């Protein structure tokens, strides 16, 4: 668990990123956070609906990252990411 993944910190917004090359199209992220993730009609791979998330969606995106079977989702506090 990296520092940015540690729960219990008051967060404002979070940033989410996906790696389509790693994605295996399991759809877990879409099931957990449909407002953040979608699957491409052409190949079933992940697409992002948003990259900067309010806390509630941020929490769901973190759960999606945990449940992603191929480790294709990265979530970090907005301020923790390099700009």
Partner 1 sequence: MTTPIVEAELPQWPPVHAARDPFAPLDEAERPHYDGPVRQVRLPNGTTAWLVSRHADVRQLLRHPAFSADFTRAGFPLLRPLPPAETRDTRGNFIQMDGAEHSRLRRMLTAEFMIKNVRRIEPLIQRTVDEALDDLAAAGPPADLVSTFALPLPSMVICHLLGVPYADHDFFQARSRTLLDRKTPTERLIREVAELRDYLRALIDTKRAHPDGADDLLGRLIRERIEPGELDVEELVGMALLLLVAGHETTANMIGLSVLLLTRDGRFTTLRDEPDQAPGVVEELLRYLSIVRTGLFRAATEDVEVGGQLIRAGEGAIVLISLANRDAAVFDDPERFDPYRQAHQQVAFGFGVHQCIGQPLARAELRIALVALARRFPQLRVTASPQELSTRQHSVVFGLDTLPVTW
Strands 52-53 and 14-18: antiparallel
**Sheet with 14-18, side-by-side order of all strands:** 52-53, 14-18, 73-77
- Main-chain dihedrals φ then ψ at residue 49, nearest 5 degrees: -90, -25
Q: Which does 40 bind (CB under 5 to 8 A by kind): partner 1, ligand SF4, none?
A: partner 1
Binding range to ligand SF4, per CB under 6 A, among 4-12, 25-33, 50-58, 75-83: 25-33
Q: Minimum distance from CB of 42 to partner 1 (Å)? A: 6
Q: Minimum distance from CB of 43 to partner 1 (Å)? A: 5
């Amino acid at each position: 668990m990296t520092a940015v993944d540690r729960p219990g910190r008051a967060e404002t917004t979070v940033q989410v990123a996906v790696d389509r090359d790693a994605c295996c199209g399991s759809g877990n992220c879409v099931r957990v956070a449909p407002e953040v993730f979608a699957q491409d009609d052409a190949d079933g791979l992940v697409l992002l609906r948003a990259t900067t998330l309010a806390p509630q969606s941020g929490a769901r995106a973190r759960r999606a990252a945990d449940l992603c079977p191929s480790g294709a989702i990265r979530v970090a506090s907005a301020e923790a990411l390099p700009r």
